[in-house]
Amino acid sequence: MNRVDEKFVFEGRNAKVREQVLKRLRPRDEREGTWTGPEDDGREPFLDAFENNPNDPYIINLARGIVDSWMVSDPVITEGEYFLGFPRPKRLIHEHFHKGILIECEETPRIAALKDRLIPMNRTHIDKRGVELMGEEAYAAADWVWWAGGYQGHIVPSYDKLLTLGISGTIAQIDHYDSITPESNTKKKNFYKACRIIMEGFSAWFKKYADACEEAAKTAEPSWAKELLRNAENLRTVAWDAPKTLHEAGQLMWGFALWDWVDCVGRFDQYLYPFWTGSDEDCQMIAELIMKVWEHGSHNVVLGGVKPCDGTDATNDISYLVLQVIRANHDVHPRVAVRIHENTPADLLDLIVTLWSEGMSDPTVASDTQIIPGLVGYGVKLEDARDYTMLGCQEIEIPGKSNFGCEDGSFNLAKVLEYTFNHGRDRLHGDVQMCLDLGGLTDFDTFDKLWDAYTREIEYLTRIHLDLCNYGVDIRNANVSKLVKSCMTEACIERGLNLDDGGSIYNYGCIETGGHGTVGDSLYAMKKLVYDEKKISLETLDAALKANFEGYEDVRRMLLDVPKYGNSDEEADAMAARVLEHYWNEIGKYTTRRGQPFTGACSLLEGGIGMGEAIGAMPDGRLAGEPLGNSIGPRTGADKSGVTAMLTSVSRMPLHLGMGGSGCNVLFPREILTTAESRERVAGLIKTYLAMGGQLAQITTASKEEMISAQKNPEDWGNLIVRVGGFSQKFIELDKPTQNEIIMRYGD
């Protein structure tokens, strides 16, 4: 197959599998939540585990509940597939790497009797601390400036370790470290026992599927019966031994992906490549695995990049094949990222841009040139930094060796600037005192005084916010929310600690950051028009902001005319960079409960809309309630000078401090991608951006006109894909505010 021009075609076995998947395919939101299994079967394995073992430690009963939740689920055998295994039923009591055991149903007497044992720590742990630090009124209003404590917790387990050691080798490793741990250290001994329960249960689950295949073969049509018996043999092999073939490796990988909530499968083309022979059957197997992560909502598949050992190009046949499969499928799942570096093959870039030209918003592209040194700057070993992967929407991790928190919290910088203008009070939500009273807008008669007040408010609130974020880590740790992931994270076993107890090697925090463009543009406009040129008085500006510019349209026009971040204006860009650098340096002074500093990130998804709704008019000319930017790029609609200027501005940001993952939404309407020459120019532009300072780029190729038409006639635009932020979605499936925000990115 030509790597770019000849499209992948689903045919033969793959075509039949895809036809079955299409019949089962859940709506996008259910796939995004990885709720793709059968409906609730009425079984309650977690209640059973805790009820039947009242005196056993929490972590042991949690492990039993997880294993039982899989073992009581009926095997799902789908005809013609190489790889078996299906998600558990959608039970209302389940475990999740979000926060441990979740109860999503009405409380029954049975649940009430077990609740404190099922959930050792809950959100009240954060809330009590918030009230203690801020008082009830201010803490209640703090939702407008941050969320704290996290809501997800993605990490990528070590598929390399799994495929190298197999289940038996992993259990042997657990037993080794257990054997050298003193009996008096009950915490570690219980952790090892729980990990052993998980891995032994994982093995038993494969054997259960093997039994189901052998039973089904008794009544199946001969050719399918033969395949069922082949699958049974494959399942029994990986139930204990390390894999030797792609069929075995794919089955073991897929099984663990299911147990890991089909979360993020990491560097897919790297850990499977040692098993690759290039045969037609291998191609079918890779295509089927991609169909599985498509059906069940994996949050990220990562391709390309460099090899950890020597930094040479790691692109291989699987890299191209995966892109061709998602090209043929043309959907918003699975989320795919490709790592780009100086020696990335030109035809790989050509294929990426070709996908965009055909209306895809995947893949995201990530810069090895920027990310690897950035990680090293945070203390990550070079070999590990070269092995980074993407997860969730666009967060960065070291597979099998890290727990970067993946959204410990988020912070709205623009809201703090608004507090600064109003004596530290929230004028939009009850006039609550949120931070220090350092004066009001009219009191700051020099720019330095304004900057000093703003940064002091940031520093005051950051201390409180990160304290609350750490209380969120307490919850995840107490509830051992990532027990399955901990089994396949290298240092957790050596240390005898779960991921949120500092078990992994790299334990940085991650704070999603919003509003830097609005704050930078506002401060720059004030410096220029109020302090330097004295064209607007502080009193007039204060009155205009309070009036949302009604009656002050001339003032707003002056503010809007000042150069904005995102247009390659050095002074405007420098102010936005100053804002980000101050905040990201400030959070870097604090350490997570997991043991290492916080780092910045900017992947707000629809969060920029909510952040904008929380604040009034700002000195950049923005009206009350309008969206903030949803990426590291400028405020929505503020860039007027074209994509090259916008990318130049973004490359000036201090992204070495934003190593949690800081993407940029880029607009390339398809009409500029119609020829080979134009696609080559776009590929060159993106490669230059990633080499000169950009970290991540996410592409939308839908035009403004197409989106407006889709709002009016959604039935005609079912296949129009856009990039929301870290994820893609079909435009007509988005709510109206999100649609409008994306349209606003194109400007007037």
- Taking the chain (748 residues) in consecutive chunks of 10 residues, what is each chunk's mean pLDDT? 78 94 90 90 97 97 98 94 96 93 95 96 96 97 92 89 98 98 98 98 98 97 95 98 98 98 96 97 97 92 98 97 95 92 96 93 95 97 97 90 90 98 93 97 98 98 98 96 96 96 96 96 98 98 98 98 96 98 98 96 82 95 91 89 92 96 88 89 94 92 84 83 71 84 75
Q: In 314-404, which ranges are continuous DSSP H helix?
A: 317-329, 346-357, 368-377, 382-385
Please say whether the dihedral angle defined by the alpha carbons of residues 187, 189, 192 and 194, taken in this order, is positive or negative: negative
How are beta strands 696-700 and 663-667 bridged, if at all? parallel
Residue from 134, 131, 36, 123 nearest 76 by CA: 36
What backbone torsions phi and psi does residue 412 show, to the nearest 5 degrees? -100, 95
176 alpha-carbon distance from chain centroid:
34
Sign of CA dihedral 128, 133, 135, 137: negative
C-alpha angle with apex 191: 186 to 197, nearest 5 degrees? Answer: 125
As a three-state string, the secondary structure of 352-373 is HHHHHHCCCCCCEEEEHHHHHH
Give CA–CA dist 157/143, Å, rounded: 32
| Token pair of 418 as six digits | 């608004």
HSE (side-chain half, CA atoms, 13 Å) at 443 = 12
Instruction: Tokens for 380, please give them.
Output: 């990550």
- Alpha helix stretches (DSSP H) within 549-675: 553-561, 570-587, 607-613, 643-650
The label of the residue with tokens 């894909």 reads 721
Q: Are strands 598-601 and 663-667 parallel, antiparallel or unpaired?
A: unpaired
103 phi and psi, to 5 degrees?
-110, 110
264, containing H or E segment: strand 264-266
End-to-end CA separation in angstroms for the chain: 44
What is the pLDDT at residue 715? 83
Backbone angles phi, psi at 60, to 5 degrees: -70, -45
Contact 433, 427 (CB under 8 A): no
Q: Say if residues 37 and 90 touch (Cβ distance below 8 Å).
A: yes
Tokens of 708: 């407006």
Q: Residue 326, SS3? A: helix
CA atoms within 13 A on the CB side of 24: 22
Determine the distance from the C-alpha atom of residue 679 to the mean position of all C-alpha atoms in its chain, rounded to a whole number: 28
Residue with tokens 């030209």: 357
What one-character DSSP code corresponds to residue 397? Answer: E
Amino acid in the structure at residue 159? Y
Question: Residue 706's pLDDT is what?
Answer: 83
Residue 720: predicted pLDDT: 81
